[in-house]
Amino acid sequence: MSEISMEQIASQLVAKGKGILAADESTGTITKRFDSIGVQSTEETRRDYRELLFTADGISNYISGVILYDETIRQTASNGITLAQILTDQGIIPGIKVDKGAKALAFSEGELVTEGLDGLRERLAEYRSLGARFAKWRAVIRIGDAAPSQYCIDTNAHALARYAALCQEADIVPIVEPEVLMDGDHTIDECYAVTETTLKTVFDELYKQRVVLEQMLLKPNMVVSGMDCPEQAGPDEVAAKTIYCFEQTVPLAVPGIAFLSGGQSEAQATLNLNTMNDGHSHPWELTYSFGRALQASALRAWGGKADNKKAAQDAFIRRARLTSEARDGNYSALDENS
């Protein structure tokens, strides 16, 4: 894999029928997920859960890459092989979350900026030695009273571009993730306006900082209504406005767009992705880089019990298969109950 170019890696990550599993939950986030099923979060239980996912029979049919957390890329499975190597042996590309999380943005109450640029060049070199061939950095844009400010968008876009340039310098494909949050009661049109401004700003910064677009992927939100909006847009409107937004902002040189699920349910995220790929034309590969929307069923089926491993793996593979079908526009909501 070390001889594969960044363009080839980017293309493989968005290959037909496949998408990316986001298994890069921080210790705090995965602890909350474990709390929801009554499982204590320890290094061992976190390892067991992720090993369960990565060794599910048939995973490579639907998953092209997996985003890992710092702890996970250093862990060894029960058979003595590193988790990253287990993925590589199946033809799945290991990736790594490299940001240090969103922190309060100075002089802008309620807004956030993602940190982690200090020491990133050195960390990328280490992660590559551990098997990572792509990386991810998430910026958080909130819609609310007077938010987002252009200051917040500019600051996050600048950091995303600096991160992406450092990745490509290290021969690592950057996934650029500017997430406009679903939290709030905003309409889909408000989400569209903020997403459009954010993406225009991000690509302007990427150009200024000499990032090669053919060697990166975009991981954006879908253009959707806020979670608390009384009028929720349906999948046809979500698909049309999301694709139109990208047509106004995303250069054709970008090989693929891997959506985040952003708090959508498994079925909702899958249906929206399917609608974008069924009957809509677009020049990019539109695929998935889901976390909860690929894992929720498996997590519930597992429940922290070793005896439930097979049931959890089956639930994960079923969800991955349905999402893969949506990636190619072949999903039917009827399959949810089959």
* DSSP one-letter string for 187-234: -HHHHHHHHHHHHHHHHHHHHHTT--GGG-EE-PPP----TT-SSPPP
* Annotation says 219 is catalytic: yes
Q: Quick one: which of 265, 90, 112 has its CA closest to 180?
A: 112
Q: At what angle do helices 188-208 and 235-249 cross, to 10 degrees?
A: 30
- Judged by DSSP in three states, 322 sits in helix
DSSP for residue 284 = S
Token pair listed for 126: 């280490």
DSSP for residue 105 = P
Q: What is residue 337's predicted lDDT score, i.e. its pLDDT?
A: 82
Residue 171's alpha-carbon distances to 52, 80, 126, 152, 208, in angstroms, are 29, 28, 12, 29, 19
Query: Do the strands 102-104 and 112-114 form a parallel or antiparallel pair, or are they unpaired?
Result: antiparallel
Residue 294 near residue 258 (C-beta atoms within 8 A): no
Q: What is residue 270's predicted lDDT score, i.e. its pLDDT?
A: 97
Residue 165's alpha-carbon distances to 20, 116, 176, 217, in angstroms, are 22, 14, 11, 13
Q: What is the pTM of this model?
A: 0.97
CA dihedral 252, 225, 176, 61 (to 10 degrees): -80
Residue 259 near residue 288 (C-beta atoms within 8 A): yes
What amino acid occupies position 293?
Answer: A
Q: What is residue 279's predicted lDDT score, i.e. its pLDDT?
A: 84
The catalytically annotated residue of 18, 97, 136, 219 is 219
Please give the sequence-ordered ranges of beta strands (E in DSSP) within the chain, or none if there are none.
19-22, 63-68, 93-97, 102-104, 112-114, 134-141, 173-180, 217-218, 256-259, 285-290
User: Which phi and psi angles does 31 have, rounded to 5°?
Assistant: -65, -40
Mean pLDDT, each 10-residue run in order, the chain (338 residues): 84 98 97 97 97 98 98 97 98 98 97 98 98 98 96 98 98 98 97 98 98 98 97 97 98 98 94 95 96 96 97 98 97 88
* Annotation says 177 is catalytic: yes
The structural domains of the chain, ordered by start, are: 6-337 (3.20.20.70)
Distance between CA atoms of residues 96 and 175, nearest Å: 10
The catalytically annotated residue of 177, 205, 266, 285 is 177
Token pair listed for 93: 């590309």
- Judged by DSSP in three states, 280 sits in coil
